Amino acid sequence: MSILHAYNPDSEPMINASHFYAPIEGFPKIAVGAFKAIEPLLAPYEPEEIIALKPVGWRTPVWRVRYKGSEIAVFHAMLGGPAAVGIMEDIRAMGAEQFLFYGSCGVLDREIATGGCILPTAAYRDEGTSYHYAPPEDDYIPVPTAAALHEILTSMDFPCVTTKAWTTDAFFRETRAAMEARRAEGCGVVDMECASIMAAAQFYDFPAYQMFFAEDCLDAVEWDRRSMGSVPKSEQERCFALSLEVAHQLLKGKQP
């Protein structure tokens, strides 16, 4: 059976996140997942470890931080749609009601510079996870929460752009032909999780938000690494602080 026939919302899953994790009293209502190591950035926020996940044999702590009176859960999100969705389901079972993810992306348009924030408005489904959470008829999963993020960042005078994303789980098969096809459809960035995350969130009907920060560039004769693998700590701190501010604003605004 092809993966295009995988979606079956009427069949109950045999394994649920609730088999592994019970609700935790007082768990923060919003969780921030970073596709970067964040433990070195936590000290200014007096982190409290809530729980440590062991999804594939190593500890993945979930911390509580307090920011401007808001309690926010933060965790190191794992790369790739299956892992990102799996840990999101786990943390939702603990009590989180909405999620904000941030991380790097490759750009398909050299005019998209590093430093600003990129908000995906839809994600092309060049991965497998989304086909278990959404019917296959549409090639793109919409990101309905992009408008709320855009409003928050605009109110902060933080530079941001909106674009479609190309989500692929085959990092070393980002071919030139595929890149040009996605760019022709309006994709400005490539990532590995957005379509999966958004499909799962919409399946369960809870809000998930995603922000990207540009690193490498595919819009060149040769691949341009740019800042990939060498983002300075000051920039990592800035991105993390921004994610906490946005999460705080989402809580304060009581976004649906």
pLDDT for res 256:
43
The gap from C-alpha 176 to its chain's centroid, in whole angstroms, comes to 25
Dist. CA 113–CA 186, nearest whole Å = 17
Dist. CA 144–CA 202, nearest whole Å = 9
Residue 70 backbone dihedrals phi, psi, to 5 degrees: -95, 140
pLDDT for res 56:
61
Each residue's pLDDT expressed in tens, for the chain with a length of 256 residues = 688 888 999 999 999 999 999 999 999 999 999 998 899 999 999 999 999 987 666 788 999 999 999 999 999 999 999 999 999 999 999 999 999 999 999 999 888 866 679 999 999 999 999 999 999 999 999 999 999 999 999 999 998 999 999 999 999 999 999 999 999 999 999 999 999 999 999 999 999 999 999 888 888 888 876 766 667 788 889 999 999 999 999 999 854 4
Report, in this order, helix, strand and coil percent for the chain, each rounded to 5: 35, 30, 40
Domains of the chain by residue range? 3-253
Q: Per the CATH hierarchy, to which homologous superfamily does domain 3-253 belong?
A: Nucleoside phosphorylase domain (3.40.50.1580)
pLDDT for res 215:
83
pLDDT for res 214:
87
Dist. CA 84–CA 81, nearest whole Å = 5
Provide the pairing of β-strand 160-168 with 140-142.
unpaired
